[in-house]
A and B are shown apart, each in its own frame.
Chain A
């Protein structure tokens, strides 16, 4: 073996997909740059973020080492634990901003909804992956049941945004597994019919306000509309070229709410303009494209639908965050993937990418040599 081959062997041992890895490194680096400015050059926050990023990459790396079979076996336990914790949160969780989302474990608080973000697609993928695809009607319903239970548990916290994302992550699995288009059509119609019920009976006042605010932020520019209005002003005033790094007046002078977390996209758009947005979207789309490609090339049905679903949900986070910050979606607490400050979100996402890499790099090599 030559030296080159040694490196290749080491690389193979790392169980990493180079293209996806590059995409993740670039987006994390860009995120660090924006965060430094968004935090007002807060060095402590910047250091924390580096730790978060390091932790995230470590989790990804570790998760990539286990074979997909391990995750298939783990899925029901993870799913079960997730459900139990969600029930616990609903019963004894810590209230923050009128919603019970956190479980205080003494040492740290964490959101069980983060677990189900991964556990739900994993569970559904395991369930459907074992069956012939496209799934039969009965299997589809059981899969949907696996989605609905955690979704409702999250929704009553109440955390409407996350519950929609959790259900979406599961639904993508079912969709990619080949759920019939007729069923999809019926589901869409049912959902459309459900919206008014949700509006009048299930949504809290503050949730309704958010939606109404979205429709007309100018109605109450200093109250409910303040966040979204300031965010739009930040984005719009960035123009094509942006005001320059650390030069965004909306963010630096603190007119923009939560500039380092959920609204970091506004900081990016203000300081780097349309160009910065385009670069960001290009990297995201590269990651999504690479993810879907890995999915297409996966060996097992489980691998395919899980990778595909995780990739799509990643894009949904991107879309929802940018959509809400730029004023076309209601404000739900969804961070900008891999860019917003916050360890939980970063680590959960990287865990997902760890799963994707695990599936990509643990192929059974029956066919090697026949080619």
Chain B
């Protein structure tokens, strides 16, 4: 091979200077060794930089890699009624959790899980939604509420799914559902909006391990107390997030329990009593305006919302003509009608628009001075000569038309606001409307039209632009009973954690202090006579009670009649029938409960809402009260109380 020869044997090899070659190599080797030392010095410098100069930084980052804080969600506080009956509890369920980053083929895993735990498309959709919210390498609930059979079947196949695990979790459960929905509200999954709010309020860290948050009612209002404080487990993990060992633990602090002022038995009794009729009932203890019962029908089962309501169920609730989602007690704004007459009376007396002896002749209508515009009285034949007592007892409209006319809207509106109309009551749930106490400014703003005198007249009988919620009426009545002392209606009796906090009245509004006792008393006497006097509008409903009741009926017009039209229930569709109101309290001498009832489209208040109030009072005073407190005192009072009893003054 020529090539080989050429390579191996140079053609003209000169005589080689072996010594020079040796020295040349020695020099080159030395240069090389110096280069080796130089490069080693570079490595050494770099290592010094990493291991000595920046040691702390890398030490921290190394710990950051391996140490992870796993949140320990707190157990949510329980909710009890006023007598210690459990209303909301936490149940343990088992769920299948997944860390999506650890799974190679999600779709295939889902497919396999279909037969094992019955994974549905909805589960997968929920998972995808939840995944967007959570950070990488977080365990996400894939399938909730596993049955024992599903757990067993998964356990057998666990080896196929090394990165999935079954873990217990708590789920809120409302023991009674429907009767308490509008009070308790519910918890549901934390959504994007909640996250945003929690971030803004700097509370997001406390929700690191929580999946649910109070969305409505007590659960929402007392979220901070009920939720508790998140704990942490400091663990060492490997690069796949697997926990190798526990380093430290800071236990979670369970949420505080809440005791409500609600009497569960009363609440359920009232719900049964209404029998599905659209309406609302609120029962207060006038001593402090703690709410004993608060019923809005129709209602719905709040358990539906825990863990996500299905689209179909939600649509059904939204489309229900009975509007079960809204709480009529606090969100239902109805014309208060004649129920407000006692309050207006107090205002009129204090403003000297009327005196206890002021008399108005009622021919069955009232004419706005200098016009021909007539305002009809509910009683077509009229009440004749009517003084204040009779005006309340018989619910004379004419008397109050005149009173409103003389008082004017400004004073009327200002006074009624002091009774709480047009203002939030301050109840400890957020689902509340202030309703409307009309004024000149309000009308200008709302309708861009000036107030006219005619507007004032219907306000005098609680109609026109005026609307109020049942709770506002109960609160106003409570103010009247207490001679102007304003208490905030509330549902929370106490919060019990390591310490017990009893409800503190936030004192949102000033008391009404100016009217003298007589004025308050006159209004109350009128209300006593409504129920007890021979000419009282609600006499029949309360005949034969073994306690004394004071009350006021109201019949709210949904539909305004033309001047010469007659109200004829038979010819009107049900939705346009009058709403029946009744507000009352008992016992008259020493009030223990205030009841406000509205029955939608039920007709006249005295005859329709009155009996409901009667049943509630019977139940509470004769069954609940003796059971809980012992016999109440009984006194003898005449059928009718005169208004000009000088002894009172």
User: Could you list which residues of chain A lie within 8 angstroms of chain B, going by C-beta atoms?
Assistant: 72, 76, 126-127, 130-134, 172, 175-176, 178, 230, 232-240, 249-250, 253-255, 269, 273-274, 277-278, 281, 285, 288-289, 292, 295-296, 301, 304-305, 308, 312, 315, 319, 322-323, 326-328
Determine if A132 and B16 form an interchain contact, defined as CB atoms under 8 angstroms apart: yes
Q: Which residues of B contact A176 (CB under 8 A)?
A: 25, 28-29, 32
The answer to whether B21 and A236 have CB atoms under 8 Å apart is no
- A residues in contact with B33, CB < 8 Å: 288-289, 292
Tally of B interface residues using CB under 8 Å:
48
Partner of A249, one of B4, B13, B36, B66: B66
Complex CA–CA separation, A131 to B24 (angstroms): 14
Q: Is the CB of B65 within 8 A of A249?
A: yes
| Residues from chain A with Cβ under 8 Å of B47 in the complex | 235, 269, 274, 277, 326
What are 14 A-B pairs with beta-carbon distances under 8 A? A76-B4, A131-B13, A133-B21, A178-B21, A236-B61, A237-B55, A237-B61, A237-B63, A253-B65, A253-B239, A277-B47, A281-B40, A296-B29, A301-B21
Decide if B543 is an interface residue (CB 8 Å cutoff): no
- Given A236-B51, A254-B240, A274-B52, the answer on whether A326 and B43 have CB atoms closer than 8 Å is yes
Q: Does B499 contact A (CB under 8 A)?
A: no
**CA distance in complex: A134, B48 (Å):** 40
Chain A positions within 8 Å of B39 at CB level: 315, 319
Chain B nearest CB from A114 CB (Å) reads 23
A238–B54 Cα gap in the complex (Å)?
A: 11
Which of chain A's residues have a CB closer than 8 A to the CB of B636?
none
Instruction: Indicate which residue in B4, B9, B10, B36 contacts A288 across the interface (CB closer than 8 Å).
Output: B36
Q: Mark B101-140, 1 if CB is under 8 A from A, else 0.
A: 0000000000000000000000000000000000000000
How far, in angstroms, from A274 to B9 measured CA to CA in the complex? Answer: 51
Q: Distance (Å) between the CB of B154 and the closest chain A CB?
A: 27
Which A residues are CB-close (under 8 A) to B237? Answer: 253
B25 and A305 contacting across the interface, CB-CB below 8 Å:
yes
B59 within 8 A of A: yes
Which of B's residues lie within 8 Å of A, judged by CB?
3-4, 7-10, 13-14, 16-17, 21-22, 24-26, 28-29, 32-33, 36-37, 39-40, 42-44, 46-48, 50-52, 54-55, 57-59, 61-63, 65-66, 236-240, 244
List B contacts of A255 (CB < 8 A). Answer: 65-66, 238-239
Contacts of A315 in B (CB 8 A): 36, 39
Contact between chains at B24 and A130 (CB < 8 Å): no
Interface of B is mostly: helix
Q: For residue B42, which residues in chain A have a CB less than 8 angstroms away from its CB?
A: 323, 328
Asked if A312 and B36 sit within 8 Å, CB to CB, the answer is: yes
- Closest chain B residue to A73 by CB distance? B8
Query: Does the CB pair B28–A308 fall under 8 Å?
Result: yes
Pairwise interchain contact A326-B46, C-beta atoms closer than 8 A: yes
- A132 to B17 Cα, complex, angstroms: 8
Measured in the bound complex, the distance between the Cα atoms of B59 and A318 in whole Å is 26
Are the C-beta atoms of B24 and A133 separated by less than 8 Å?
Answer: yes
Cross-chain contact B59 with A126 (CB below 8 angstroms): no
Compute how far the CA of A214 lies from the CA of B471 in the bound complex, rounded to whole angstroms: 70
CA distance A289 to B32 in the complex (A): 10
Q: Whole-angstrom distance between the alpha carbons of A328 and B61 in the complex? A: 19
- Name the one of B54, B57, B238 contacting A253, with C-beta atoms under 8 angstroms: B238
Select which of B16, B43, B52, B55 is within 8 A of A322 by beta carbon.
B43
Asked if residues B50 and A235 are in contact (CB atoms below 8 Å), the reply is yes
Q: Is A273 a contact partner of B236 (Cβ separation < 8 A)?
A: no
- The docked-state distance in angstroms from the alpha carbon of A178 to that of B22 is 10
Q: Which of A132, A235, A319, A328 contacts B58 (CB 8 A)?
A: A235
Q: A240-B52, A253-B236, A255-B65 are in contact. Are A281 and B36 (CB under 8 A)?
A: no
The docked-state distance in angstroms from the alpha carbon of A254 to that of B13 is 60
Which of A172, A285, A322, A323 has the largest count of B CB atoms less than 10 A from its CB?
A322
CB closest chain-B residue, reference A232: B50
Residue of A nearest to B50 (CB): A236
Nearest chain A CB to B68's CB is how many angstroms away? 11
B29 in contact with A127 (CB, 8 Å): no
Min CB gap A128→B, angstroms: 10
Asked if residues A236 and B58 are in contact (CB atoms below 8 Å), the reply is yes
- Residue from B21, B25, B61, B239 in contact with A308 in the complex, judged by beta carbons closer than 8 Å: B25
- Contact among A127, A178, A232, A327 for B7, CB-based, below 8 A: A127
Q: Report Cα–Cα, A328/B43, bound state, in Å.
A: 9
Contacting residues, chain B, for A230 (C-beta < 8 A): 65
Contact call A178/B25, Cβ cutoff below 8 A: yes
Supposing A132-B21, A133-B24, A296-B29 touch, asked if A254 and B239 sit within 8 A by C-beta, the answer is yes
Question: How many whole Å from B248's CB to the nearest CB in chain A?
Answer: 16
The 6 closest A-B pairs by CB, nearest first: A236-B58, A237-B62, A253-B238, A236-B50, A254-B239, A237-B58
- Residue in B3, B16, B26, B52 whose beta carbon sits within 8 Å of that of A296 in the complex: B26
B236 touches A301 (CB 8 A): no
Q: Which chain B residues border A233 with CB–CB below 8 Å?
A: 58, 61-62, 65
Cβ–Cβ contact A274 & B48, under 8 A = yes
User: Apart from A285-B40, A328-B46, what are 14 other A-B pairs with CB-CB below 8 Å?
Assistant: A127-B7, A130-B9, A130-B13, A131-B10, A133-B21, A233-B61, A233-B65, A237-B58, A249-B62, A269-B50, A274-B47, A281-B44, A296-B29, A301-B25
Q: How far is the CA of A254 from the CA of B7 in the complex (A)?
A: 52
User: How far does the alpha carbon of A238 sit from the alpha carbon of B50 in the complex, in Å?
Assistant: 9
| Pairwise interchain contact B62-A308, C-beta atoms closer than 8 A | no
Partner pick for A232 among B24, B37, B58, CB 8 A cutoff: B58
